Amino acid sequence: MADPLIVKICGIKTPAILDAAIEAGADMVGFVHFTRSPRHVSIEDLATLIGEARGRVETCVLLVNPDNSCVAEVAALGPDWIQLHGPESPHRVEAIRAEAGVEIIKAVPIGSAEDVKNIASFVDVADRILLDAKPPKGADRPGGLGETFDWALLEGLDPSIPFLLSGGLTPQTVAEAIRTVRPFGVDVSSGVESAPGVKDKRLIEAFIRNARAAS
């Protein structure tokens, strides 16, 4: 019996959407603390959301190339995970994990076979790996920005490395992604929004339903 699929809904900004994601059966919820993102939440709002989620669902705070004071401030709120979504080196990921005392998800952007080779350098320094689409050149923030990457690239990945799949997933594409790529989890943000940063309860429900059916 394979482990059950992990479904992560990222970029949640309000208690109402947090409740909707939990009720729909999400395993993890993500909050973005990065001012350039339309999904950014302040430290005060993070504290509220993490408090409301505690004991109900695993929480993850997404940071981009954070400095030590930012890491300490977020770690003090007691999230289950910190997700590093910037150009952090393996050494920096290891240092943040040691300093924060919080489990780390490292997002690795995939756009080429070279990027797939790069995944291995993070396996021992992060607790989970998340594979996202490489942002287009000139993008002002990291992440797939709603784009998928060529899943065939992952045929070159060591099959013993488990990963969460992200990047352009939607309620319509998640089942095919799970069947094709066989990730141990899926992560969605813009694919369940009606506008940038605005989550849609029905899209969240459909995404989770379709993901569970495919796994």
**Active-site hit among 3, 19, 67, 132:** 132
Is 158 an active-site residue? no
**Active-site hit among 10, 45, 67, 158:** 10
Contacts 24+ apart (CB under 8 A), 3-6: 3/184, 4/215, 5/178, 5/183, 5/184, 5/185, 5/186, 5/211, 5/212, 5/215, 6/164, 6/184, 6/185, 6/186
Is 132 an active-site residue? yes
Catalytic site residues?
Answer: 10, 132
